[in-house]
Amino acid sequence: MTNVATEFTIREILENAVTDSNSKLTETWIDLDELCKRILKDLQSNTFSGMEEND
């Protein structure tokens, strides 16, 4: 089961990144809920598959 504090921390980091005018995430449309789910799933399986940086 996912730790609620971990989920909160991930969401807070993502929201801050999206609202930071210097962040590259502000240049793209992002679904925070979907991204959070993917990160939590990857953390649970101890992998970060599918999270490669696209230039």
In a domain, 33, yes or no: yes
Residue 52 forms part of a structural domain: no
What is the extent of the structural domain holding 16? 4-45
Number of domains in the chain: 1
- Is residue 40 one of the residues assigned to a domain? yes
Nearest to 11 by CA among 31, 28, 29: 31
Neighbours of 37 (CB within 10 A): 14
| pLDDT value for 43 | 78
Residue 36 and residue 22: Cα distance in Å, rounded?
21
Residue 10 within a domain: yes
pLDDT by residue for the chain (55 residues), tens only, comes to 457 788 788 888 877 777 666 666 656 666 777 777 888 887 777 655 444 544 4
55: in domain: no
- pLDDT the model gives residue 1: 46
Note the pLDDT of residue 25: 61
**pLDDT value, residue 47:** 52
Q: Which amino acid is located at 36 in the chain?
A: C
Residue 51 domain-assigned (yes or no): no
